[in-house]
Amino acid sequence: MQSLYDIPAPAKLNLFLHITGRRDDGYHLLQSVFMLIDWSDTLHFERRTDGQITREDLTAPLPQDDLCTRAARALQQATGCTEGVHIGVAKSVPAQAGMGGGSSDAASTLLALNRLWNCNLSLQALQRIGLSLGADVPFFLCGHHAWVEGIGEKITPMALPKANFLVVKPDAGLDTRMIFSDPTLKRDSEPAIISGFAANAFGNTFRNIFEYGRNDLQAVAQRLCPGVNQALTWLESQGLNGRMTGSGSAVFAHLPHGVLWDSANLSESFQVRQCSSLDVHPLVGWAHSDG
């Protein structure tokens, strides 16, 4: 029986996140730059011949119908594949953090099973399936840092400089729906353009790339989750300028080369990790492109 083991599912950081509007169906329109980092889950896949999809939680327990199993079922349904899989999930990326952990798991599942089951779907076909699972899934399938627009489906890969970050996740998470449904959420940011970001980010100093724009969700998150404020205050005590990533409770700061930090005065319930950006997604090239 052919098996695939130790498939990574890396997290992401939103260097900025602007909400530029809202569609009639309630979905918010955003602009953001997503950066892949080396904080990853690990997924194990073993082919089954009975068509069943089963999952084993190797670390933290997951909901019964998590994004890995949903992605596997979606690929089965899209291709008519009669094979199954046993998935082992070793979670490391925290939930409700805004780091895309579940979406990344779904993307790595689609890429792994597309190969394991010999489905041979193109990257674009997998992205269409991925979008039905979550707005961030197509980004993780694209394999590169990216400028992201729309509801997450408009993806422009881009090169970004190598960087290190300090990422802090408070014990409490944040429900994306709570933030996006909040009446005080800013939904009218002026649209930006990629060339404007590049000029602002790279035009003067390297540091500017991590100070461009803001996260429009942060004000709401700070009101809903005191831990976000505490994590930002701790980063400030380290001489670092922090901001929230995505729609969860994790915050991050660019960590310049040679700058040291310590965990003094940090709540024991918080997770803190020094991360590096990835050059590309570890599974880039696992699906062929239509173009």
- Least Cα distance to 146 among 18, 14, 28 occurs for 14
Residue 173 structural domain: 164-276
**Does any domain span residue 198?**
yes
Catalytic, out of 91, 136, 169, 216: 136
Q: Where are the alpha helices (DSSP H) in 96-212?
A: 101-116, 123-133, 137-142, 176-180, 194-202
Q: Are residues 74 and 149 in the same domain?
A: yes
pTM recorded for the entire structure: 0.94
The CATH number for 69's domain is 3.30.230.10
Catalytic, out of 12, 41, 105, 216: 12
**Does any domain span residue 284?**
no
The dihedral over CA atoms of 154, 157, 159, 165, expressed in degrees to the nearest 10, equals 60
Q: Are residues 87 and 126 in the same domain?
A: yes
pLDDT at 200: 65
pLDDT of 139 > 60? The answer is yes
Question: How far, in Å, CA of 7 to CA of 73, rounded?
Answer: 18
Q: Are residues 23 and 117 in the same domain?
A: yes
Tell me: the pLDDT tens digits for 78-120? 999 999 999 999 999 999 999 999 999 999 999 999 999 999 9
- Least Cα distance to 162 among 206, 197, 96 occurs for 206
Exposure string for 265-288, b = 16+ CB within 10 A, e = fewer? ebeeebbebebebbeebbbbebbe
Max mean pLDDT among 77-86, 197-206, 260-269 falls in: 77-86
Q: Are residues 266 and 228 in the same domain?
A: yes
For 18, which DSSP code? Answer: E
Do 102 and 134 meet the contact criterion of CB atoms below 8 Å apart?
A: yes
**Does any domain span residue 291?**
no
E strands of 142-212, at which residues?
Answer: 146-150, 154-157, 164-169
**Does any domain span residue 282?**
no
Mean pLDDT of the chain: 93
**Does any domain span residue 281?**
no
**Does any domain span residue 170?**
yes
Q: Are residues 21 and 132 in the same domain?
A: yes
Q: Are residues 183 and 125 in the same domain?
A: no
At residue 1 the predicted structure's pLDDT band, cuts being 50, 70 and 90, is very low
At residue 265 the predicted structure's pLDDT band, cuts being 50, 70 and 90, is confident
Q: Are residues 91 and 20 in the same domain?
A: yes
The answer to whether 262 is a known catalytic residue is no
The answer to whether 136 is a known catalytic residue is yes
Q: Are residues 115 and 213 in the same domain?
A: no
